[in-house]
Chains A and B, each alone.
Chain A
Amino acid sequence: MEQVINEIDKRQMVINMGPQHPSTHGVLRLEVVLEGEIVNEVRPNIGYLHRCFEKYAEEVGDYSKVIPYTDRMDYVSAMNQEHGYVVAVERMLEIEVPERVEYIRVIVAELQRIASHLLGIGAFGLDLGAFTPFLYCFIEREKVLDIFEKTTGARLLYNYMAPGGLMRDVHEDFKSDTAEFVKTFRPKIKELNDLLSYNKIFIDRTANVGVLPVKVALNYGASGPVLRGSGMEWDLRKNDPYSIYDRFDFEIPVGKGELGTLGDCWDRYIVRVREMEQSLRIIEQALDGLPEEGDVFEGIPKRVRPKAGEIYTRTETPRGELGYYIISDKSGGPFRVKARAPSFVHLSLLPSISKGAMIADLVAIVGSIDIVLGEVDR
């Protein structure tokens, strides 16, 4: 009898966060097992946005027709998704990419990284009740989207890169527009730091919360700002270089446990802020190096038909390591495409870092790993 009563006292409560909850960053359901306010267990349920990317890629029978679909995986950093895919196809075809194309790709990829981080940072603040910084972030993000719109005609899903080239050349004022953005955006980072990063309430909510030790992070396959937030200097742009990133001078910001424990939510957050500065440095150097002349179409092969074999290519997107595993059977389309999405991996480590946290902090932890559900479910 006594034992039964004890079990009732300790009875846990299971609640659902999502599938539609303001802090879930998309359609995600978290089954949370609570004991009072303490999180005992989290079971993420995903798949709500599953659109069969891999099946489509295998059935469409054309390597180039997969590109618009890659945009739709991580829809807030579509350029980086395309970049990873075209790099993979180019390595399979063993073709050279013209200089001008490479430079434009790097510039748009880094602009996209800034836009994506602005959304991630803004939404993270929003999760914790800071509404104003979110709007400031969106003003800046808008400027990047304007540049993209002028060049590609689209604001979110661009279908801009092609194996060996680009779908169209940049618009006339691309260079001056981008240079202007770099100039005006730099002081805004300081403004963002004053407004959010070093805000006392924000620090209270994020420092010492959701600590991810580097060993656990590696065992779970974490990458990008999540791994760097835990103090590991690891960036595929330097550690497994692709495109022309080896030509640029930039640093890899890492978490240092400045305001709390190494690998907490604040560390992951600040890595993203500092990465934006580094992206600006890369853009400046790339603008200087961008060749004036050059055809962006001439490198595009008439037929994309790689030899038999397989490849795993990974690139650094704003969220981390995006891998494409492609098997070619000598036909015009891939035999198998597997997309290894960083958000998928990061969401899988959520249960391990949120065990024992307060339920209100769970919101902070989900925000700090910056997931995009389109990429988790593909």
Chain B
Amino acid sequence: MKNAEEIYEILKDEFGEDSLELHSGDIGSPWITAGAAKIKEIAKYLRDDSALLFNTLMCLSGVHYPNEEELGVTYHLHSTNLHHSIALKVRVPIDDPRVPSVESIWKTANWHEREAWDMVGVIFDGHPNHKRILCPDDWEGHPLRKDYVQQEFYQGITTGE
């Protein structure tokens, strides 16, 4: 069982410290931010390294940060063997929101990444079925963006009240 600092140290030794940072809020649990380019390698390492063994991805969430003009992806990982958890975060600029897909590492990511694309608009490179999931395929915009304006008509039907 390892805490966030120990996990951060292990990752820093492996991937260098330039793209990794440890953060914490006033409440809740700390998280590690990583550069988007390396996220797939980091994810694979987190799953396979014998000191970490994060075999489950509990949750993957897309977030829109309007003030920074960025999109984020948060990965919540848990190890059922070693009983520790960690939150991992990636931030990308809103005009080029590309993040490598971790679908090949945890299958949970398949639908969760589709949801993050649908709702927030993060593009997951290498996803085998990069389509909307909750909204129809021809829906416009990403509803969970803070500046989202709902389209007035969908296929000729009014969407408002």
- A-side residues, CB < 8 A to B, are 46-47, 50, 52, 54-55, 58, 91-92, 94, 216, 218-221, 232, 234, 239, 306-312, 314, 321, 323, 325, 327-328, 336, 338, 340, 344-345, 347-349, 352, 377-378
Contact = CB atoms under 8 A, between A and B. Distances in A.
A221 B28 contact: no
B58 A221 contact: yes
A309 B106 contact: no
Interface in B88-122: 106-108, 110-111, 119
B87 interface: yes
A311 B106 contact: no
Given A54-B144, A91-B28, A377-B134, A344 B111 contact: yes
B26 A312 contact: no
A55 B147 CA distance: 12
B107 A219 contact: yes
A5 B135 CA distance: 39
Nearest to B59: A340
Given A219-B107, A338-B61, A312 B143 contact: no
A309 B27 contact: yes
B108 A327 contact: no
Nearest to A234: B80
A325 B134 CA distance: 19
28 contacts: A47-B135, A50-B135, A58-B144, A92-B27, A94-B27, A218-B55, A218-B80, A219-B107, A232-B80, A307-B25, A308-B25, A309-B26, A310-B29, A310-B31, A311-B27, A312-B58, A312-B76, A312-B85, A314-B58, A325-B74, A328-B25, A328-B27, A340-B76, A345-B111, A348-B110, A349-B107, A352-B107, A377-B134
Given A311-B27, A377-B134, A336 B80 contact: no
B74 A54 contact: no
A311 B59 CA distance: 12
B20 interface: no
B52 interface: no
Contacts of B80: 218, 232, 234
B110 to A, nearest CB: 6
Nearest to A309: B25
A219 B106 contact: yes
Contacts of B146: 58
Contacts of A46: 133-134
Contacts of B24: 309
A378 B58 CA distance: 17
Interface residues of B, number: 34
B11 to A, nearest CB: 19
Given A218-B56, A325-B61, A47 B111 contact: no
A340 B74 CA distance: 12
B59 A312 contact: yes
A323 B58 contact: yes
Contacts of B134: 46-47, 50, 377-378
A47 B139 CA distance: 12
B133 A323 contact: no
A377 B80 CA distance: 27
A348 B61 CA distance: 16
B91 to A, nearest CB: 13
A325 B108 CA distance: 16
B136 interface: yes
Nearest to B111: A348
B63 interface: yes
B57 interface: yes
Contact of B63 (A221, A306, A308, A327): A327
Nearest to B136: A47
Nearest to B29: A311
A181 to B, nearest CB: 34
A92 B63 CA distance: 19
A221 B27 contact: no
Given A55-B148, A307-B26, A338-B61, 14 more contacts: A58-B146, A92-B27, A94-B27, A219-B106, A221-B58, A221-B106, A308-B27, A309-B24, A309-B28, A310-B31, A312-B58, A312-B59, A328-B25, A328-B27
Contact of A307 (B27, B56, B135, B148): B27
B107 A340 contact: no
Contacts of B119: 54
Contacts of A323: 58-59, 76
Contacts of A52: 143
A325 B59 contact: yes
